[in-house]
C-alpha cells in the first residue's frame, strides 16, 4: 500500500508507529562523526518565527538532509520521511530538555495547564517534498514535587520534547487530549499516511 521509505530518525516510537500501519522502512543510519538525525539542521528558532512554521521547517530540513545522504551514498532511491515534535506554552517553543533540572522546570510549567503539541512530518523523494502538521492539545493534572522528581529520576523525560512521553509513565499526568495521540507520540499517522499515499500514486499535489 505504501512505498518503502527511509526513516530519518532514531526515535523508536516513530519506528513502532510506522510498523503499526504496515510501512516498510529502513532507518537512515549515520556514520562516525555525524551527530545524528539533525546533524544538518539548526534547531534555533528564527526571529519572530511562529511555532507552526518552526516545526514544519525543521521536518522539511531533516527530510532534505536525509535525501542528501541517500544521494551521497548512492543508496536505492526510496522516499525519505522525517518528523519534528515540539510543544508550545504561552507562545514559547519548548523542545527537549537540556538536562534533568530543565526537565523539572518544564514539567513544573506544564502542571495543571493545557499546552499544544505540534508534530510536522515531511517526505522527500529528491524531486519533490511535501509536509503536514498535526496540532493537539494536552491538559496535565496538577503535579506535586514528588511526582515530578520521581519522573525526572526515571530518565524518561530527557530525550523527549516537552520532557514527557505520553506513551510512557507520564500517561498518568494527562487529564485530557484533543487531537492526535500518535501525533503527540511523535508521528501523526493520519497525516503520515496521506503523505505516503501521495508518493505511492505519483500525485503532484
Task: Name the E strands within 125-158.
Answer: 129-140
Q: Is the pLDDT of residue 35 over 60?
A: no
For the chain, the average pLDDT equals 92
The CATH number linked to 83 is 3.90.950.10
Q: Would you please indicate which residues are annotated as catalytic (active-site) residues?
A: 84
| Total structural domains within the chain | 1
Distance of CA 104 to the CA centre of its chain: 21
Give the length of the chain.
Answer: 205
Domain span at 106 = 5-201
User: Rounded CA gap, 29 and 37, in Å?
Assistant: 8
What DSSP character marks residue 143?
P
- 129 grid coordinates: 517534498
94 bridge partner residues:
87
pLDDT tens sequence across 55-94: 999 999 999 999 999 999 999 999 999 999 999 999 999 9
pLDDT of 205: 47
Global confidence as pTM: 0.90
Amino acid at each position: 500500500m505504501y512505498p518503502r521509505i527511509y526513516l530519518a530518525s532514531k526515535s523508536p516510537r516513530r519506528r513502532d508507529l510506522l510498523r503499526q500501519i504496515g510501512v516498510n522502512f529502513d532507518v537512515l543510519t549515520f556514520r562516525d562523526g555525524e551527530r545524528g538525525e539533525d546533524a544538518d539542521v539548526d534547531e534555533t528558532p528564527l526571529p519572530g518565527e511562529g511555532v507552526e512554521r518552526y516545526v514544519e521547517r525543521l521536518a522539511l530540513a531533516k527530510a532534505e538532509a536525509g535525501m542528501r545522504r541517500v544521494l551521497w551514498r548512492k543508496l536505492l532511491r526510496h522516499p525519505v520521511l522525517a518528523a519534528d515534535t515540539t510543544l508550545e506554552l504561552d507562545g514559547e517553543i519548548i523542545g527537549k530538555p537540556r538536562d534533568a533540572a530543565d526537565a523539572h522546570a518544564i514539567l513544573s510549567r506544564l502542571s495543571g495547564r493545557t499546552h499544544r503539541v505540534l508534530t510536522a512530518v515531511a517526505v522527500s523523494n529528491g524531486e519533490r517534498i511535501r509536509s503536514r502538521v498535526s496540532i493537539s492539545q494536552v491538559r496535565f493534572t496538577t503535579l506535586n514535587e514528588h511526582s515530578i522528581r520521581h519522573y525526572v529520576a526515571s530518565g524518561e523525560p530527557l530525550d523527549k520534547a516537552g520532557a514527557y512521553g505520553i506513551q510512557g509513565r507520564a500517561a498518568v499526568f494527562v487529564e485530557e487530549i484533543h487531537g492526535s495521540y500518535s501525533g503527540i507520540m511523535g508521528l501523526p499517522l493520519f497525516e503520515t499516511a496521506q503523505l505516503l499515499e501521495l508518493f505511492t500514486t505519483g500525485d503532484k499535489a
